[in-house]
Each structure stands twice: as structure tokens, then as C-alpha cells.
């Protein structure tokens, strides 16, 4: 715990430019596929003391939601893919809401339910067919409970739903998914809910490190690329990915649906064949991303619409399957210390002065510091 307090004091000394990132609406993905994470009450104790007020869960863990009672934290909660079929039944959908959502309101702010995660990246056409009916049934149950003005319904997509992303203005959805995505977009338009994407420039770089510029994917200075159809210039891949999704949505007749990033991040460690997975690159990606957020930037195609982002993830998760990178996306180690520098200046100091010690003791350090770490 002492080491954590030292980090708090360090952040108290940060510049005003970094402090301004606290006012942003940057969210954090709170995954729990691990056996060594701090308790939800400890996590709540960190988050509720700072300006980080948006958390995305992959389930509706009652322990987490209870731990955040009477905080100012806004939650996205999830219904797993394994439960999508059940949610097509109106009785079961209503029962799920009465068990997982209604008892937590208003003391815990639940504002969105994601039905499934990356469903269209599977080969399960039955699951794909059930996704929209489940979303519709959940929405109808929210209406029945009078909660539809507080809680919206969406689902998160991998960028594998996109058939073409270059140039961004030519973005299109995969033809084999059109039968599922067109009515899904109609639903989003009808209920005014966002289209969520999990966008990882890291994946593109990992697949082609010899052809894709590391500077381009890390928001570092580079010549970028110009869309020949619009003459819009892109100096980073994430914004190009978002605009490709906007173009794909427009191609299906909708210009009234907002695209939001439900996941993005960069791993601090990977296997030998996972190019670019280092603490240095992860730190650069997140520092530059936060800098763009501080400027309230939109994409070249939507310059007046600041990008809405949930960073992945709060902690390294030691039980996640797959390559080493999957277990190393966290901004924090489970013991509460940062995995890498996301904007620190200088070396870690000790609690050097009584003024700093008193600030930490009184909880003032929490108000200024933890949020920068957690975003």
C-alpha cells in the first residue's frame, strides 16, 4: 500500500495539462478474468474519489454494482453470449432486469446494457440470428419497467465486421453479415443507442509490422494518409478505423447513429511473435490517446463529435486464455501499481514533505491522482 501512496503523491505534482485529462469522459473496462485482483470495494474506493466516472463490465456482477452504490460512477453492464438465447424470451428478459438492474437503481448508475460481445466474429449463425431479438426484448422490458430513458441497449463488435476499411470513406460491412447488421442498425436508429466497436490498431501492426508504420498506430508524428475520395488526412489508424465504420453505416442508409469505442488499448507484453507489445509502446499509445481526448478531438469525418472511448483494461488478467498479450493489457498490476508510465514526470519520489503526507492522509491525493492512472 505504501508504494501506491507514493504514486498518488507523484501524480499530485503533475502539470495542469495532465490534470485536464481528468475532466474527460474516458471510461475503463473492468475485466475480472484473474485470481489475484483487488476486491470490488477497493476498486470502488479508488474510482469514486476521482473524476473517472465510467466503467464497463462484461457481466452484471452484483458485488461490483453493490460496491459502487451511491458513487458517481456510470456503468455499462453486459449479458454474455451464452445468455443471448434466454434473453429472446420476454419473461426471462424481464426477470433478468429485475434481478440485475432494477435493484441497483438509482444508487448505482447503470446507463447501458451490452447484449453479447463480438457476436458477429463467431461462426454461430444461430447466435447471430438471436442477437437482435434479444436486444429488442431487453429494450421492451426496460420500457415495461419505465427504465428505457435511463438505460440503453447495444452490443459490441470486433472490426472483423468490416469488409473494407481503406480508404475510410469506402468502409463497408461484410456482405455475409448484411442480413444481420441492416436490421440491427435500424434498431439503433429507432431507440437512439450507439454502435459500439472494439478497435485495436495494435492488431493491425502485429499482423504486418513490416508494412504498417508504428508511428501511425501510436499517434506519433508521421505523414499519415489522405483519403483520395474526401481529401481528409489521417495521422493515426484509430481515427481511420472509426471513420470506416461510419462509412459502412452510411452505406446502409443511416447517418444518425453514433460510433463509440467500447475497447481500445495496447499490451505491455507479448509472446516472441507479437511485435510491438512492450511497456514503452503501451505507454506511448495511451499517453497520446489521452492527449487527443484532452483536445476533445473528433475524427476527420466527424470533427465536431469528440470520440467516446473505453480503454482496455484496468488490470492485467492472469487467467485470460490465448497469447501472452491477452493477459497484459492492464494499466495496473493487481497490487495497484501502474504497469507503465502514462505521463509521469521524473522519478518516483518518496513522501518527501509533511504537506504531501497530510494531503494523502486527508484523501486529497486521491482526488487528483488515481484518475490519471485508471484512464
Which range among 46-55, 62-71, 245-254 shows the weakest confidence by mean pLDDT?
46-55
Integer Cα distance of 94 and 246 in angstroms: 33
Catalytic residue, chosen from 82, 118, 220, 295, is: 118
Q: Work out the percent of the chain whose per-residue pLDDT is above 90.
A: 75
Integer Cα distance of 346 and 357 in angstroms: 19
Which range among 41-55, 71-85, 306-320 shows the weakest confidence by mean pLDDT?
41-55
Strands (E), 80-122: 109-117
Q: What is the DSSP letter of 307?
A: P
Mean pLDDT, residues 186-209 taken together: 98
Is residue 372 a contact partner of residue 342, using CB atoms and an 8 Å limit? yes
**Mean pLDDT over all residues of the chain?**
86
pLDDT in tens, 86-126: 999 999 999 999 999 999 999 999 999 999 999 999 999 99
Classify each residue of 108-119 as buried b or exposed e, where b means 16 or more C-beta atoms within 10 Å of its C-beta. Answer: bbbebbbbbbbb
pLDDT in tens, 248-294: 999 999 999 999 999 999 999 999 999 999 999 999 999 999 899 98
Is residue 126 a contact partner of residue 81, using CB atoms and an 8 Å limit? no
What's the pLDDT score for residue 96?
A: 98
Catalytic residue, chosen from 220, 258, 263, 326, is: 263
Beta-strand pair 225-226/233-234: antiparallel
Element (H, E) at 234: strand 233-234
What's the pLDDT score for residue 335?
A: 84
**For this structure, is 140 an active site residue?**
no
Give the closest residue to 374 by CA, choosing from 343, 338, 350, 345.
338
Instruction: Please determine, for residue 44, whether its predicted confidence score (pLDDT) is greater than 90.
Output: no
pLDDT in tens, 20-36: 333 346 899 999 999 99
Structural domains of the chain, ranges and CATH numbers in brackets? 2-374 (3.20.20.80)
Residues 6 or more apart in contact with residue 106 via CB below 8 angstroms: none
Q: What is the DSSP letter of 229?
A: T
Instruction: Please determine, for residue 341, whether its predicted confidence score (pLDDT) is greater than 90.
Output: no
* Residue 194: pLDDT band with limits 50, 70, 90: very high
Beta-strand pair 259-264/309-311: parallel
Sign of CA dihedral 280, 282, 288, 290: negative
pLDDT in tens, 307-330: 999 999 999 999 999 999 999 999
- The structure's pTM equals 0.86
- Write out the DSSP string of 116-163: EESGGGSS-HHHHHHHHHHHHHHHHHHHHTT-TTT-EEEEEEEGGGEE
**For this structure, is 263 an active site residue?**
yes
* Residue 363: pLDDT band with limits 50, 70, 90: very low
Element (H, E) at 239: helix 237-251
Return the SS3 of 13.
Answer: coil
CA atoms within 13 A on the CB side of 208: 7
Amino acid at each position: 500500500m505504501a508504494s501506491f501512496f507514493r504514486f498518488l503523491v507523484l501524480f499530485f505534482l503533475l502539470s495542469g495539462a495532465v490534470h485536464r485529462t481528468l475532466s474527460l469522459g474516458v471510461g475503463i473496462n473492468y475485466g475480472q478474468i484473474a485470481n489475484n485482483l483487488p476486491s470490488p470495494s477497493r476498486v470502488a474506493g479508488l474510482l469514486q474519489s476521482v473524476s473517472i466516472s465510467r466503467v464497463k463490465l462484461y457481466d452484471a456482477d452484483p458485488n461490483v454494482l453493490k460496491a459502487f452504490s451511491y458513487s458517481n460512477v456510470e456503468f455499462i453492464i453486459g449479458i454474455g453470449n451464452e445468455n443471448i438465447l434466454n434473453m429472446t424470451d420476454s419473461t426471462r428478459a424481464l426477470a433478468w432486469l429485475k434481478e440485475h438492474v432494477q435493484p441497483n437503481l438509482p444508487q448505482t448508475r447503470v446507463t447501458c446494457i451490452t447484449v453479447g460481445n463480438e457476436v458477429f466474429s463467431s461462426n454461430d449463425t444461430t447466435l447471430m440470428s438471436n442477437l437482435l431479438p434479444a436486444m429488442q426484448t431487453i429494450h421492451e422490458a426496460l420500457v415495461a419497467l419505465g427504465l428505457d430513458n435511463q438505460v440503453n441497449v447495444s452490443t459490441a463488435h470486433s472490426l472483423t465486421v468490416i469488409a473494407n476499411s481503406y480508404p475510410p470513406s469506402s468502409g463497408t460491412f461484410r456482405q455475409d453479415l448484411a442480413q444481420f447488421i441492416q436490421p440491427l442498425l435500424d434498431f439503433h436508429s429507432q431507440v437512439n443507442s450507439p454502435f459500439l466497436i472494439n478497435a485495436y490498431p495494435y492488431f493491425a501492426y502485429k499482423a504486418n509490422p513490416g508494412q504498417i508504420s508504428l508511428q501511425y498506430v501510436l499517434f506519433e508524428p508521421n505523414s499519415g494518409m489522405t483519403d483520395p475520395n474526401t481529401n481528409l488526412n489521417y495521422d493515426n489508424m484509430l481515427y481511420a478505423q472509426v471513420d470506416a465504420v461510419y462509412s459502412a453505416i452510411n452505406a446502409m442508409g443511416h447517418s444518425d447513429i453514433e460510433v463509440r469505442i467500447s475497447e481500445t488499448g495496447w499490451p505491455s507484453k507479448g509472446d516472441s511473435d507479437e511485435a510491438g507489445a512492450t511497456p514503452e509502446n503501451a505507454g506511448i499509445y495511451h499517453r497520446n490517446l489521452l492527449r487527443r481526448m484532452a483536445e476533445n478531438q473528433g475524427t476527420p469525418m466527424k470533427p465536431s463529435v469528440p470520440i467516446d472511448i473505453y480503454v482496455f483494461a484496468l488490470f492485467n488478467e492472469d487467467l485470460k486464455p490465448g497469447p501472452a498479450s491477452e493477459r497484459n493489457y492492464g494499466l495496473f498490476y493487481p497490487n495497484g501499481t501502474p504497469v507503465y508510465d502514462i505521463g509521469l514526470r521524473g522519478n518516483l519520489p518518496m513522501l518527501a514533505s509533511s504537506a504531501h503526507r497530510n494531503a494523502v492522509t486527508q484523501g486529497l491525493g486521491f482526488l487528483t491522482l488515481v484518475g490519471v492512472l485508471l484512464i
